[in-house]
Chain A
Amino acid sequence: MRPLTEEESKAVFTKLANYVGKNLVHLIDRQDEPYCFRLHKDRVFYVSESSMRLGISIARPNLVSLGTCFGKFSKSGKFKLHITALDYVAQYAKYKIWIKPNGEMPFLYGNHVVKAHLGRITEDTPEHQGVVVFSMNDIPLGFGVTARSTVDTRKLDPTAIIVFHQADVGEYLRDEDTLF
């Protein structure tokens, strides 16, 4: 476990900023307790400083996980956000999309969101913007990247994809082995 290097933190923050935008500061600048990012075995953890201090005492091979896993770095050095980050991302999300009940299951099986399932969308969402996907009851389901801007969405036919799937809560079951 070690703090992120300059390069790594840049990769992580740009990725997160894609979803939460300026709210990123609220992740670091928490009122209750200072939080920090730590890298362990290619994975990035978001952890409170007190937990982090406790974790220091555990040897690197023995430490499985601490805090919340946000994602991992691929071999090529790119950062990939995991579904485990959803709680935080959803809370601070800048752009959101709500899908209708009949679109929930298809999305949870790893499919993209089509226009027909679109329930509501934050106004003027740009193209290729990271969005958090919610059910109509405001339960976060996952996140993705928009295929079109809000305005263009209007003209699409119902089967057109509007959000590319990136992660969904179904992965807790599907990718149980690899996720942690």
Chain B
Amino acid sequence: MAGTTKGKRPAPNSQASSKKRKLNDGKHKPVKSKSKSNEPKKEKLADRGFIPIPALDKDDDDVEISDQDMDVLAEFGGAASFLNKLDSKGIMRSKKETQRLHELTKPVRKPQVYDDDLPSINSDDEDEESWDSNIDDNDLELSGSEDEDLSDDETPDHLEDSDAEMPYETKPRKLRDVTQDKQTDVQSLPIKLANGHIQQTGKKAIKQDMKSRSPPSDSEDTDSEEEQEKEEPRSRLEDVATGARFGRTAVVDVLQTSSRRQRVEMAKEQIASICQEILADPENSLGLLRRLHTFSLKTVSTPTHPEPVPNDPIIRKLTILSQLAIYKDIIPGYRIRPLTEAEKAEKVSQMVARTRDWEQGLVNVYQTYLRLLENELKTKSELADIALHCMATLLKELTHFNFRLNLMTCIVARMSKKSWDASSELCSQTLTQVFKEDLTGAASLEVVRLLNRMIKEQHFKVHPNALSCLLHLRLRTELGVRASSTHADKPEKKKQKYGKKANKPERVYLSKKGRKDYKEQKEIQRELQEAEAEVDKEERKTIQTETLKLLFALYFRILKNPTPTALLPAALSGISRFAHLVNIDFFKDLMKVLKDLIAMEEEAAIADLESPGSSASHAAFISRQLKCIVTAFELLSGQGEALNIDLNDFITTLYAILLPLSFSPEIHFAPSNSVSTVSKKTGPATDGALTSVADLLFRALNLVFSPRTAGKTAPPWRSAAFGKRLLIASLHWPAGAALRALEFVSGLIAKDPKLEAMLSTEDRVYDGVYRPDVDDPQLCHPFESSFWELHALHRQHWDPRVREEAGRLLSSRSS
């Protein structure tokens, strides 16, 4: 568009002016008509501005006749001849000329309203940035084109006049200016500052204030005055993003207002009006978006205002937030992709072109906004929190849109610190939200990939809470089939292969026509599927498998880290959460790692015991061991169907830590290290809230003796040994834990009738001695002992509930 106007402008202008001069004074006419007669020989008719009517042509060529006309004109007065001329011109005008005039009318009309618009259109042609403002103009023009046809002949003169008749024009404006100045003088009083100085700034400010408040139709005169008083050259260079436009004060001027309150007030109003306008018609307000963005810049500098003007943080904050709200509303529900070269070259309809322009423009503006946010975040300025908040919201709301990777990168980077604060919590929650609402899994994949890289690059020195958001990945429930974690797409290919093989023999012979029909049908089917826009399950599966692969890579890397990191508990809970998806090939390695970890914790605990004064952390070691055990059994129950495995070592460890645990009075309290915070956060989501060691312990016990992991029943000696040791421990535990232990033992007895023998001292079938000191349920000969602790609990425990429970257990045997 801009190109055509650019090309066309010079020649027609002269022609239009020739007509004008014909009207105004006859002296110029002969010269002009000569030039006109020269031109037609070179140009095509259609390209020319005017297609001469043969008769008129003669007239034009013939100087004498026109002179006669002038005489007639002089005789009968201007009105009649004017109408006559107008008519002929309308007839002669070629289509292109009409279009050109249409385009011209806009910029011309604008200058009437806002005077500095006209020159900036010229500058628009030079820089490509402002093509959108052209669109604005065209659209406006479309609506009012019919009305303007009448005034067509008038507008060109204005265009001409802007150069030629400048002194003439200034006079009345000056007059208005004076009145305006008077008005402002009356309205604004000088401000007396605290230090006694009298400030005269109010005058200018109020003028602008009025301008910004006054609706566009009213602002005609104020604007013209402004154009006159403000630098002419600047208005020529500035575009819609910074200059005074649409009845709004130039950004620089707003920011240069000396009174802060006024400045903020003005900015507020302008932002509000811009936002309103954008929302009213988003597709035509790229310029406004850009203008809005200008308000959020740190320093504003324009072509005419080369020295940067510092921006007020409050204004910036407001602008950033309003931009957030705007983008949330106007961004379309699809991703905008860059046009290919072929598409650019292709000719498209105006509608399509406009949509494309709008889309590309929106992406650009959005990108600059994101860059700004990113900058704020990186420089850790005062607006960093706001920027983060904006990014989080954008990521949550506009996950589908372009640049989500940039958003994710920023947010993930925010979680890479060792400490944990409100902002990281916000990031974590955002990611959780993204995971929860991610239908296709593509966004999750990107986030997991970023997290993976971030944690690797930080050498695992991040806060464990950073991992907690991973627990909300949708693939936990959606990825039903256990897929190979090493080769994401292998099974897929195989299936296809099989599918082909299976299909081939089944294919029925089709005639040529039938085949053609079949092909068409297939095509239609494909298109229909595309149109349905449903999430492809196969595709999602591939993506989720890829995500899973990354996820486990991350977890395993944490587990296999030679020195256990703070992330370990979080990784363990993650593995146990996704246990059903772990590839069976990794099972052996995982078990080995877990076993090593338990051994390591044991060593650490022993070392810890030797060093005095740190008994509190002993519970932490134990709880970590318990976590390992729980994870192992979760893994096993996930793989339960594949193979029934007896996790002897883990069970022995569990048995071994029962006694040390009986000496920890804080069994019911959550240990104060990271383990608990993670589990607390994820608590509601995981199957059981593992807030305390007791919870962990009984969870582990239940897993060990659950029918899923232990086959039908656990071996009787194991149940007996655990029951015996639990009762020993329950003598020392607080009432709550003791009660749970009693309940668990009664469950064991109910499962295995052999244990009933231990409730009395009479029937003994085994020989040997019970060895409470041996940490192996197999070797401690539990059946040589009895549950005498029950009697002690029944008779002497201070808590009536425990007494009752113990009594019930004792009497259950006789019944």
Residues on A lying within 8 angstroms of B by beta carbon are: 23, 26, 31-32, 91-92, 96, 98, 118-124, 136, 138, 150-151, 153-154
Contacts and interface: CB of A to CB of B under 8 A. Distances in A.
Contacts of A96: 646, 648
22 contacts: A32-B767, A32-B768, A91-B779, A92-B779, A96-B648, A98-B644, A118-B644, A119-B711, A120-B644, A121-B645, A122-B648, A123-B591, A123-B646, A123-B647, A123-B648, A124-B588, A124-B592, A136-B711, A138-B715, A138-B716, A150-B645, A154-B642
A31 B587 CA distance: 39
B594 to A, nearest CB: 11
A155 to B, nearest CB: 10
Given A31-B769, A119-B711, A120-B644, 12 more contacts: A26-B779, A91-B778, A92-B778, A96-B646, A98-B644, A118-B644, A120-B646, A121-B643, A138-B716, A138-B717, A150-B645, A154-B642
Given A122-B646, A123-B647, A151 B771 contact: no
Interface of B: 584, 587-588, 591-592, 642-649, 711-712, 715-717, 767-769, 771, 778-779
B293 to A, nearest CB: 60
A174 to B, nearest CB: 27
Interface centre among A23, A32, A123, A153 (most CB of B within 10 A): A123
B643 A154 contact: yes
Contacts of A122: 645-646, 648
Nearest to B589: A151
Contact of B645 (A91, A123, A136, A138): A123
A98 B645 contact: no
A65 B206 CA distance: 121
B771 A31 contact: yes
Nearest to B714: A138
A124 B584 CA distance: 13
A23 B711 contact: no
Q: Which 6 A-B pairs have the closest CB atoms?
A: A120-B644, A138-B715, A123-B645, A151-B588, A122-B646, A120-B711
Given A136-B712, A138-B716, A151-B587, A121 B646 contact: yes
Contacts of B642: 154
Contacts of A124: 588, 591-592
Nearest to A150: B645
Contacts of A119: 644, 711
B596 to A, nearest CB: 12
Nearest to A30: B768
A96 B718 CA distance: 14
A153 B779 contact: no
Contacts of B717: 138
Nearest to B717: A138
A151 to B, nearest CB: 5
A11 B663 CA distance: 45
A130 to B, nearest CB: 15
Tell which of A122, A124, A136 has the most Cβ of chain B within 10 Å: A124
Q: Is the interface of A mostly helix, strand, loop or mixed?
A: mixed
A144 B501 CA distance: 44
Contacts of B591: 123-124
Contacts of A153: 643
Nearest to B776: A23
Contacts of A154: 584, 642-643
Contact of B779 (A23, A32, A123, A136): A23
Contacts of A120: 644-646, 711
Contacts of B767: 32
A136 B643 CA distance: 15
Nearest to A134: B715
B778 to A, nearest CB: 7
A136 B648 CA distance: 16
Contacts of B584: 154
A154 B591 CA distance: 16
A121 B644 contact: yes
A69 to B, nearest CB: 19
User: Which one of B644, B646, B768, B769 has the greatest number of beta carbons of chain A within 10 Å?
Assistant: B646
User: Which of A98, A138, A153: most chain B CB closer than 10 A?
Assistant: A138
B114 to A, nearest CB: 79
Nearest to B647: A123
Contacts of A26: 779
B595 to A, nearest CB: 9
A177 B646 CA distance: 37
Nearest to A149: B588
Contacts of B647: 123
Contacts of B644: 98, 118-121
Contacts of A91: 778-779
A154 B592 CA distance: 17
Contacts of B715: 138
Given A151-B587, A153-B643, A123 B711 contact: no
A17 to B, nearest CB: 16
A91 B767 CA distance: 13
Nearest to B639: A154
Contacts of B588: 124, 150-151
Nearest to A96: B646
Nearest to B709: A120
A122 B591 CA distance: 12
A104 to B, nearest CB: 14
B151 to A, nearest CB: 88
Contacts of B649: 123
Contacts of B778: 91-92
A151 B639 CA distance: 13
Nearest to A31: B769
Nearest to B643: A154
A98 B587 CA distance: 20
Nearest to B752: A138
A118 B768 CA distance: 32
Nearest to B644: A120
A92 B649 CA distance: 14
A92 B644 CA distance: 21
Nearest to A138: B715
A123 B645 CA distance: 5
A26, A118, A154 — most chain B CB neighbours (10 Å): A154
A31 B780 CA distance: 11
A26 B780 CA distance: 11
A32 B712 contact: no
A119 B713 CA distance: 12
A121 B644 CA distance: 6
A141 to B, nearest CB: 14
Nearest to B646: A122
A113 to B, nearest CB: 14
Nearest to B645: A123
A20 to B, nearest CB: 10
A35 B333 CA distance: 82
A118 B643 CA distance: 9
A49 B767 CA distance: 17
A142 to B, nearest CB: 17
A152 B711 CA distance: 21
A23 B779 CA distance: 9
A31 B584 CA distance: 43
